A and B are shown apart, each in its own frame.
Chain A
Amino acid sequence: MVPAGVALAGDMLSIHELTKRRGSREILSGLSFEARPGRVTAFLGPNGAGKTSTLRILLGLDSATSGTALIDGVPFARLKDPLTKVGALLDGSGAHRSRTARAHLRWIAAAGGIPPARVAEVLAVVGLTDDARRRVRSYSLGMSRRLGLAAALLGDPEILVLDEPVNGLDPEGIRWIRTFLRERAETGRTVLLSSHFLGEVAETVDDAVVIHQGQIVAQGTLSEVVGEHGTIEDAYFALTGAPRGGLR
């Protein structure tokens, strides 16, 4: 693990005073946090807390009402080669149902000017080689998530932004992704993942940001956030005021 505060050559994600309003409802209220190179940062909070909205703004999919979300100092929309800078995983696989996994990855590779040979590589990394010619509609949730991850890895990016990456994975898959993300961080890359599965992330993450009702309630290294609560789970429930057992 790289200690906090040590600057690496990798790229940083910085979110500053981010606010998002939809109609009269304020979804995000002045969020500020960073995800640093060489570290796995977990973005924790119950469903509906604003995790996905934050990541979508960071990835240029949604606009912010005010504030900034920058990747290595620039907004996503200004990135020249986004695939080699940021790998993103959002809902499902992000593929059209009637395409095969291979065809899906091929068009992404073409768009990013990535050699087509890389498609087979990432399919092997996520363990989908044998199902590469099947249509995505026949995939299980776990397989869809693996395909989404394969797409995120195509450009071998400096930064990974993953929304609920363990969601839908089987225990074997969860174990694999933990190891995988740790390895990414140890090579100096930046990993930001959102999750409401606390147990699954506790062993993987260096830093944690806890969000509740669109506001950050705690952030820092994992041990700072856990503080006197004993475990990340206790800290989480104390910070978000969520009833125990009220989570999936």
Chain B
Amino acid sequence: MKLIHAELIKLASLLSAWIAAGLATILPAAVAVLNSRSQVSRGIDAGFQDLAPGVIGAIVIGVVAVSSEYLVEGAESGGGRQITTSLTAVASRSRFLLAKAAAVAVTVALLALLSSAITLTTTSLTDETVSVGTADLPRVAGVTAYWILTALLASGITLVTRSGIVPLTFCIVNMSVVSVSFLLTKLTSWANYLPDLAGMHLFLRDVHGSVDIAPLTGGLVMGLWVVVVAGIGFIVFRRRDA
């Protein structure tokens, strides 16, 4: 527990984590307001669809939780990196990583719940055709799981790259601007099982994929991706010189 506490203090004292928290809570609500002004009926996924871009906040938290360890202090202050402090304070690399993953998961879960509450309330207030009730709770759980898994995926990739630039650029572009995964589904239906697309089924019911995936299946497929990618990150991190 004390290691998770330490990792939570680290996140809470990082400016980029606060910006990410802002993105995660404000962006979906803003999208919900904009969407409610359009005349198009949005059907079953109203509100939940708006929560999808908020995952950017989760990605940023997943990435910076790891990349902040490797940021070089700057030549004038001696070129140190926080990772040396972390690993001399916690001798076990496995326990260090598990604590970090737990801190990321807890933080992102809280943000997902908060953001869902704000966004779904906004949606039901601004769009009379939508009513949100307790029947939607499993989908809120789905959004939360999707955000946590995405954040852990981002952390896992960053463990390998040791810099936030590549994973941040790739994940954000893929999730928000052009979905590479979605384009790939035009080539092969296997692309529906890429983590982001499979995971969407956790909370969206009207996904225009070429394959029908049940929510639980989607979650399991995404979970498997996380286990593989984070597992590779874990092994690389344990073996490599810090």
Q: Is the CB of A111 within 8 A of B90?
A: yes
> Is A237 located at the chain interface by the 8 A CB criterion?
no
Could you mark each residue 1-26 of chain B with 1 if its beta carbon is under 8 Å from any beta carbon of chain A, else 0?
01101110110011110000000000
Chain A residues at the B interface, C-beta cutoff of 8 Å: 56, 59-63, 76-80, 82-83, 86, 88, 90-100, 103-104, 106-108, 110-113, 136-137, 139-141, 144-145, 148, 151, 167-168
Q: Which residues of B contact A151 (CB under 8 A)?
A: 85
- In-complex Cβ contact of B68 among A79, A82, A93, A96 (8 A): A96
Q: Which residues of A contact B84 (CB under 8 A)?
A: 56, 59, 61, 88, 90-91, 94
Q: Which residues of B contact A91 (CB under 8 A)?
A: 73, 78-81, 84
Q: Which residues of B contact A111 (CB under 8 A)?
A: 2-3, 5-6, 86, 89-90
**Selected A-B contacts with CB under 8 Å, 13 pairs:** A56-B242, A59-B87, A61-B87, A63-B239, A77-B92, A82-B90, A88-B84, A91-B73, A92-B77, A92-B79, A94-B84, A96-B82, A98-B15
Measured between C-beta atoms, what is the minimum distance from A140 to chain B in Å?
A: 8
Known: A59-B88, A82-B88, A96-B10. 12 other contacts (CB 8 A): A56-B241, A60-B87, A60-B88, A61-B88, A91-B78, A94-B80, A95-B85, A97-B73, A98-B14, A110-B9, A111-B2, A144-B78
Bound-state CA distance A63–B73 (Å) is 23
Bound-state CA distance A82–B90 (Å) is 7
Bound-state CA distance A97–B86 (Å) is 15
Q: Which residues of A contact B9 (CB under 8 A)?
A: 103, 106-107, 110
Q: Which residues of B contact A97 (CB under 8 A)?
A: 71, 73-74
Q: Dominant SS at the B interface? A: helix
Bound-state CA distance A82–B89 (Å) is 6
Q: Which residues of A contact B128 (CB under 8 A)?
A: none
B51-83 residues at the A interface, CB under 8 angstroms: 68, 71, 73-74, 76-82
**Quick one: closest A residue to B87, CB to CB?**
A61
Q: Which residues of A contact B16 (CB under 8 A)?
A: 98
Q: Is the CB of B74 within 8 A of A137?
A: yes
**Quick one: closest A residue to B95, CB to CB?**
A111
- In-complex Cβ contact of A62 among B81, B89, B241 (8 A): B241
- In-complex Cβ contact of A144 among B15, B80, B91, B93 (8 A): B80
B24-64 residues at the A interface, CB under 8 angstroms: none
Q: Is the CB of A94 within 8 A of B77?
A: no
Bound-state CA distance A114–B78 (Å) is 27
Bound-state CA distance A45–B77 (Å) is 22
**Are A90 and B80 CB-contacts (below 8 A) given A63-B241, A113-B2, A137-B74?**
yes
**Quick one: closest A residue to B93, CB to CB?**
A77
Measured between C-beta atoms, what is the minimum distance from A20 to chain B in Å?
A: 9
Q: Is the CB of A144 within 8 A of B5?
A: no
Bound-state CA distance A4–B77 (Å) is 37
B216-242 residues at the A interface, CB under 8 angstroms: 239, 241-242
Q: Which residues of B contact A104 (CB under 8 A)?
A: 13, 85
**Are A108 and B89 CB-contacts (below 8 A) given A92-B79, A113-B2, A168-B78?**
yes
Bound-state CA distance A33–B3 (Å) is 33
Q: Which residues of A contact B239 (CB under 8 A)?
A: 63
Q: Is the CB of B89 within 8 A of A141?
A: no
Measured between C-beta atoms, what is the minimum distance from B1 to chain A in Å?
A: 10
Q: Which residues of B contact A99 (CB under 8 A)?
A: 10, 13-14
Q: Which residues of B contact A95 (CB under 8 A)?
A: 73, 80, 82, 85
Bound-state CA distance A176–B10 (Å) is 31
**Are A93 and B6 CB-contacts (below 8 A) given A61-B242, A82-B89, A107-B13?**
no
Q: Which residues of A contact B7 (CB under 8 A)?
A: 107
Q: Which residues of B contact A106 (CB under 8 A)?
A: 9, 13
Measured between C-beta atoms, what is the minimum distance from A193 to chain B in Å?
A: 16
Q: Which residues of A contact B88 (CB under 8 A)?
A: 59-61, 76, 82-83, 86, 88, 90
Most chain A CB atoms below 10 A, which of B16, B85, B92: B85
Bound-state CA distance A20–B77 (Å) is 28
Bound-state CA distance A167–B80 (Å) is 13
Q: Is the CB of A100 within 8 A of B78?
A: no
Measured between C-beta atoms, what is the minimum distance from A203 to chain B in Å?
A: 24
Measured between C-beta atoms, what is the minimum distance from A61 to chain B in Å?
A: 4
Q: Is the CB of A82 within 8 A of B91?
A: yes
**Are A93 and B73 CB-contacts (below 8 A) given A106-B9, A113-B2?**
yes
